[in-house]
Homo-oligomer: A and B are copies of this chain.
Amino acid sequence: MEIFLYRQDAQSVEEGFSASHLPQLLADKTNVVWVDLMGDTDEGIEEAKQVLLEIFHFHPLTVEDCVETRNAPKVEAFPDYFYFIVHGIRPEETHHTNFVTKELDGYLGANYVVTFHIEKFQSIKVVKQNVRSSTFACERGAAYLLHQVLDNIVDLYMPIVDDFDTAINDLEERVFQTRSGYNILLEEIMDVRRAVARLKRISARQLEVLYRISHGEFPQIPAPVLPFYRDVHDHLLRISDLSENYRDLVAGLMDMHLSVVANRTNDVMKLLAIFSAIMLPLSLIAGIYGMNFENMPELKSAHGYYLTLGVMLLIAVVLMVYFWKKGWIFQPAEHEIKVDPSKEE
């Protein structure tokens, strides 16, 4: 548990308080208090529960939700404060196109922010540094302080969204390459598809939460701070739009993959048909002159063998011309298509 106190009169940020100081700090309405609770250990959770229930007297249900994970983003109003859940994301270690969500629970009151999280949050670390290095983040009150946390969380979505962009462009090139293992490619496409769908869903729920927070529904956020929340909302909206966009692109990838496989099966079939169409008649001719009839005059002619070979060659050439005219053979290769890397705005 870390407690930050900004005293308006002193214009300074102090640290190092413990839970027992809180009632007194909160009583002074000109103070801005930030309590950051970590739930990474059982003791941390116990302590958090105690602080939330016995010092802040938050609604027990919200405290329960705090401690649990697996909650969807939401915001709930109470007379003196509101409770919210938002999700941060970070890239998964092994798959660069996959990501892990982590839950941030929090409360905003008139002069305090409470945050609770089980995993470490890069964005909270950044805001703490800001708070320590300058009083700027605290001067505008608790609502502005919370805005900074949310802003940093949403900003960390962007690198992951950019990774999707790279991954989809990469897959698009590989879809047309002959040597790609079909099933490996397929699995990767499905991985991105799942990740994009998750991003869309997560940002949709968060958008609802941020929309409500940023449109003046909660009196804890004074009007001059609202534009800052709307700004966070708009950033998330852009991420949501991009993930919608990626969803279309991935669906397009899947369609392309299926078409490319169908085209290749078509190519294989053509090759087989050409080979069969040329070889079978020639084999038939050879088979005919391999018959053992006693009376087959051609067999006795001096040039019969050479004539037969000539006819075979002729048939082969005629059929090849026929298939070339149909466009089945000797077409320019088309696998070196350049995929335009700048297709996204």
**A309 and B340 alpha carbons, distance in the complex (Å):** 50
Chain B proximity of A208: nearest CB distance (Å): 11
In the complex, the chain B residue whose C-beta lies closest to that of A327 is B179
Chain B proximity of A189: nearest CB distance (Å): 9
Q: Tell whether, in the assembled complex, residue A308 and residue B283 are in contact, meaning their CB atoms are under 8 Å apart.
A: no
Q: Tell whether, in the assembled complex, residue B59 and residue A227 are in contact, meaning their CB atoms are under 8 Å apart.
A: yes
For A262, what are the chain B residues with a Cβ–Cβ distance below 8 Å? 258, 261-262, 265
> Which residue from B190, B268, B284 sits with its C-beta under 8 Å from A270?
B268
A50 at the interface (CB under 8 A from B): no
**A307 and B345 alpha carbons, distance in the complex (Å):** 64
For A15, what are the chain B residues with a Cβ–Cβ distance below 8 Å? none
In the complex, the chain B residue whose C-beta lies closest to that of A339 is B187
Q: Tell whether, in the assembled complex, residue B289 and residue A291 are in contact, meaning their CB atoms are under 8 Å apart.
A: yes
A303 at the interface (CB under 8 A from B): yes
Chain B proximity of A57: nearest CB distance (Å): 14
A101 at the interface (CB under 8 A from B): yes
Interface residues of A in 169-206 (CB under 8 A from B): 176, 178-179, 181-184, 186-187, 190-191, 193-194, 197-198, 201, 205
> Which residue from B273, B303, B331 sits with its C-beta under 8 Å from A275?
B273
Interface residues of A in 14-51 (CB under 8 A from B): none
Q: Which residues of A does B touch, CB under 8 Å?
A: 59, 61-62, 65, 70-72, 74, 76, 78, 92, 94-95, 98, 100-101, 176, 178-179, 181-184, 186-187, 190-191, 193-194, 197-198, 201, 205, 227-228, 230-231, 234, 237-238, 241, 244-245, 248-249, 252, 254-266, 268-273, 275-277, 279-284, 286-296, 298-305, 308-309, 312, 326-327, 331-332, 334-335, 337, 339-340, 342-343, 345
Q: Besides A286-B291, A287-B290, 15 other CB < 8 A contacts?
A: A59-B227, A178-B326, A179-B331, A183-B260, A183-B263, A186-B259, A194-B248, A201-B245, A258-B262, A261-B262, A271-B277, A275-B280, A276-B280, A291-B308, A294-B304
